[in-house]
């Protein structure tokens, strides 16, 4: 049984079909990078999986259970956490208060405020600072920390490096590497292809709401991914995912 199964998923914005019948499987312990040009449908797909965007057709199953009709908070409680694009923190609340929201929303497990502080040492001195006063890197660390506090089995990261300096992006990716080594299953959307290919075990490339290339990262060349990204040349799907 796959940890996540997405079948025939359709999601719309009004009349626009942003995700057009997407299908893939994700096994426990895999790291899936979803790449694609602006407007390819990546964010809509992630939000639909997490329950933050309505699903017009198709199904999402998590740990063998059909969660298509479950609201976002029930999916979080089941072990599926989304770090949304733009972080969406509560600016008037402190770092610690934002982290505790994750604790209340999720499952019991080993993630505590202290463990998040150890994972993101840049937050230690900012623990009681309001989130609206944080730098971009500190906000991103808080957003990832809040998701980790739900003790997720599947962590979904939407463009976590957007707007951050290269140094801070390195730090965020060190933490993602650590999570991967611990066996956390991850889906990440990343604009930086090199980063995505470095960290991922599997890659999906989307174009105009559809998967145009999918496979194990080791079996795809950078040219394969770049061509699919821009809709150039013959498109192919490898074994593995989906
Ligand atoms: P980006 O990298 O720019 O975030 P993306 O691959 O994540 O792109 P989506 O944000 O999912 O793509 O957008 C998919 C399509 O849906 C695009 O055509 C986009 O213009 C459209 N879209 C996204 N959000 C909305 C919205 N709130 N209202 C209307 N259309 C939207």
- Is residue 36 lining ligand 1, measured as CB closer than 6 Å? yes
What's the farthest any 2 CA atoms get from each other in the chain?
A: 53
- Is residue 42 lining ligand 1, measured as CB closer than 6 Å? yes
- Is residue 47 lining ligand 1, measured as CB closer than 6 Å? no
Classify residue 147 as exposed, middle or buried by CB count within 10 Å of its CB (0-12, 13-18, 19+): buried
H/E element, 232: none
Classify residue 183 as exposed, middle or buried by CB count within 10 Å of its CB (0-12, 13-18, 19+): exposed
Cα of 39 from ligand 1 centre, angstroms: 5
Q: Could you give the number of structural domains in the chain?
A: 1
Domain containing residue 173? 4-238
End-to-end Cα spacing for the chain: 14
> Any idea which of 32-41, 85-94, 127-136, 205-214 has the lowest mean pLDDT?
85-94
What size, in residues, is the chain? 242
CATH no. for residue 217?
3.40.50.300
Pocket test for ligand 1, best of 10, 19, 44, 210 (most atoms within 8 A of CB): 44
- Is residue 35 lining ligand 1, measured as CB closer than 6 Å? no
Nearest residue (CA) to ligand 1, atom 30 = 13
Residue 7 pLDDT greater than 50, yes or no: yes
Q: From 103, 144, 101, select the one nearest 122 (Cα to Cα).
A: 144
Rounded to an integer, the average pLDDT of 7-25 is 97
- Is residue 18 lining ligand 1, measured as CB closer than 6 Å? yes
Nearest residue (CA) to ligand 1, atom 28 = 13
Pocket test for ligand 1, best of 19, 20, 22, 43 (most atoms within 8 A of CB): 43
Rounded to an integer, the average pLDDT of 52-61 is 97
CB 131, CB 141: distance < 8 Å = no
88: helix, strand or coil: coil
Residue 237 pLDDT greater than 70, yes or no: no
Residue 78 pLDDT greater than 60, yes or no: yes
H/E element, 2: none
Measure the CA–CA gap between 153 and 64, rounded to whole angstroms: 13
Question: Rounded to the nearest 5°, which phi and psi values hold at 154?
Answer: -130, 120
């Amino acid at each position: 049984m796959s940890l996540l199964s997405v079948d025939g998923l359709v999601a719309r914005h009004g009349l626009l079909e942003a995700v057009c019948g997407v299908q893939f499987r994700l096994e426990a312990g895999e790291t899936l990078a979803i790449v694609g040009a602006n407007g390819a449908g990546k964010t809509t797909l992630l939000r639909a999986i997490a329950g933050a965007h309505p699903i017009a057709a198709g199904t999402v199953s998590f740990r063998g259970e059909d969660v298509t009709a479950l609201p976002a908070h029930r999916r979080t409680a089941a072990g599926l956490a989304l770090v949304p694009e733009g972080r969406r923190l509560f600016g008037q609340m402190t770092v610690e208060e934002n982290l505790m929201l994750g604790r209340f929303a999720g499952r019991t497990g080993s993630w505590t405020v202290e463990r998040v502080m150890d994972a993101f040492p840049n937050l230690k001195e900012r623990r009681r600072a309001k989130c609206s006063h944080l730098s971009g890197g500190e906000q991103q660390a808080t957003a990832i920390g809040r998701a980790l506090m739900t003790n997720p089995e599947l962590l979904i990261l939407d463009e976590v490096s957007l707007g951050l300096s290269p140094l801070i992006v390195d730090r965020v990716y060190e933490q993602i590497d650590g999570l991967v080594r611990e066996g956390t299953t991850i889906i990440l959307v990343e604009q930086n292809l090199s980063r995505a290919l470095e960290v991922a075990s599997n890659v999906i490339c989307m174009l105009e709401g559809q998967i145009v290339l999918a496979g194990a990262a080791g079996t795809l060349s950078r040219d394969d991914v770049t061509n699919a990204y821009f809709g150039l040349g013959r498109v192919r799907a490898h074994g593995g995912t989906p």
